[in-house]
Amino acid sequence: MKKLVPVVLAAICLAHGVAQAQDQAQTQLPRTTLSVGIHQIDTQLATTQEQHATGLMHRQEMPQHEGMLFIFENSTRQCFWMKNTLLPLTAAFVADDGTIVNLVDMKPKSLDSHCSAKPVRFVLEMNQGWFAKKGIKPGSKISGRPFTP
C-alpha cells in the first residue's frame, strides 16, 4: 500500500500539469472582436484541428462577453459534442456571410451530437442563454473578422 501512494500522487500531479497546460494553451489562442447588433463578443479563435478538438474542454468558467469561434477550411455539416466540457453552452452555426443558421443548446459532459442545419464553416460557442438574453436568433448577422471583407 505504501508503494502505491507515490504512484497515485505522481498521477494526480501529472493530470494537474496537463490540465494547466491545456488551460494556458486555450487562453493563448488568437482573439478577435465580433458584433451582433449592439452586442460585442471577445472571441477566441480555434483554427487548427487540435484547437477544434480541445475547444472549451475542462474550463470551469467563461466570462459572459466571451466566446470561441471555430473556423473550418470547408463548409460541411458541423457536429459538436460536450465530452469533458464543464460549461453549458449554446452553439451558433454560422454561414460565411455571418448569418446564424441555427442555435443549439448543449449540456455539459454530454456525448450527444449537436449539428448544423446546413453546411457551415463557422461555429460560435457562448455561455448557454447568452443568445436568448440578447434576442439573437437564426437569421441574425455576426460581423467582424472573418465575416467582413
Position 68 pLDDT exceeds 50: yes
Amino acid in the structure at residue 116: S
How deeply is 102 buried, as exposed, middle or buried, from its count of CB atoms within 10 A (0-12, 13-18, 19+)?
middle
> Where does the pLDDT of residue 27 fall: very low under 50, low under 70, confident under 90, or very high at 90 and above?
low
67: in domain: yes
Predicted TM-score (pTM) above 0.85: no
70: in domain: yes
> DSSP code of 48?
S
Please state the domain count of the chain: 1
45: in domain: yes
Cis peptide preceding 63, ω within 30 of 0? no
Enclosing domain of residue 54: 31-133
CATH number at 110 reads 2.60.120.1140
| Residue 3 grid cell | 508503494
89: in domain: yes
Q: For residue 130, what pLDDT is reported?
A: 98
> Where does the pLDDT of residue 49 fall: very low under 50, low under 70, confident under 90, or very high at 90 and above?
very high
Tell me which H or E stretch contains 87: none
84: in domain: yes
147: in domain: no
